[in-house]
C-alpha cells in the first residue's frame, strides 16, 4: 500500500525543497553570500556560516554514481516493490542525491552514465524527484 510508504517530513530548513518539488522543480540550497550549494538544507551555510540562503533551481542533470537493490522491505509500504532500485546521483551543480531510477533498471546502464530528473507525483501534496537515463523519452 503506497500510503504506508514513508513521506518527507518538511521542516523549517527543507520545506522550500519540497514546495519546489511539488511544482516539478528540482532545487538545492545555495548561500546568498558565497554561492555554496548543498542538499539537504542547513540553518547556516556550511561554507561561510551565513544565514542568508535560498532554494535555487538546478538543471536536473546529473551522473549515476552508484546504486543498490533492496531485497528486504524495511517498511510495509515497500513490501510489494522489492527488489527495488535506489540510486545515488551526483548533480551537475555538486550536491549528491539519493533517489530511484525510472524508465530503466540500473543493471542496464553504467555507473558514470548521465541521468536527468523525472518527477513522480505521489498525491496532491507530494511529488518525488526521481531520475531517468538522460535523453530517454518521457
Q: Tell me, by CB under 8 A, how many residues bind another protein.
A: 35
- Using rule CB under 8 A, residue 66 touches another protein: yes
Does residue 136 interact with another protein by CB under 8 A? no
Q: How far is the CB of 45 from another protein (least distance, A)?
A: 13
Per-residue interface string for the shown chain with another protein, residues 8-27, x marking contact by CB under 8 A: xx----x-------------
Using CA atoms, how far apart are residues 1 and 13, in angstroms rounded to an integer?
A: 29
Contact region with another protein (CB under 8 A), list: 23-31, 54-62, 124-132: 124-132
Task: Quote the CA–CA distance of 93 and 108 in Å, as a whole number.
Answer: 25
**Phi, psi (degrees; rounded to nearest 5) at 76:** -60, -35
40 lies in the binding site for another protein (CB under 8 A): yes
Cell representation of residue 61: 542533470
Q: 1, 3, 110, 124: which one contacts another protein (CB under 8 A)?
A: 110
Neighbours of 53 (CB within 10 A): 21
Distance CA 46, CA 48 (A): 6
Which residues fall within 8 angstroms of residue 124, CB to CB, at 6 or more apart? none
Q: Which residues bind another protein (CB under 8 A)?
A: 5-9, 14, 39-40, 46, 65-72, 74-75, 78, 81, 83-84, 86, 88, 96, 98-100, 110-112, 126, 128, 130
Amino acid at each position: 500500500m503506497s500510503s504506508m510508504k514513508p513521506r518527507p517530513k518538511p521542516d523549517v530548513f527543507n520545506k522550500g525543497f519540497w514546495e519546489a518539488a511539488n511544482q516539478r522543480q528540482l532545487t538545492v540550497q545555495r548561500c546568498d553570500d558565497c554561492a555554496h550549494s548543498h542538499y539537504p538544507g542547513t540553518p547556516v551555510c556550511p561554507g561561510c556560516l551565513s544565514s542568508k540562503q535560498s532554494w535555487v533551481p538546478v538543471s536536473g542533470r546529473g551522473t549515476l554514481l552508484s546504486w543498490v537493490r533492496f531485497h528486504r522491505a524495511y517498511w510495509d509500504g515497500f513490501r510489494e516493490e522489492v527488489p527495488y532500485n535506489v540510486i545515488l546521483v551526483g548533480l551537475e551543480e555538486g550536491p549528491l542525491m539519493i533517489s530511484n531510477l525510472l524508465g530503466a533498471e540500473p543493471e542496464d546502464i553504467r555507473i558514470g552514465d548521465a541521468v536527468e530528473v523525472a518527477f513522480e507525483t505521489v498525491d496532491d501534496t507530494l511529488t518525488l524527484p526521481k531520475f531517468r537515463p538522460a535523453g530517454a523519452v518521457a
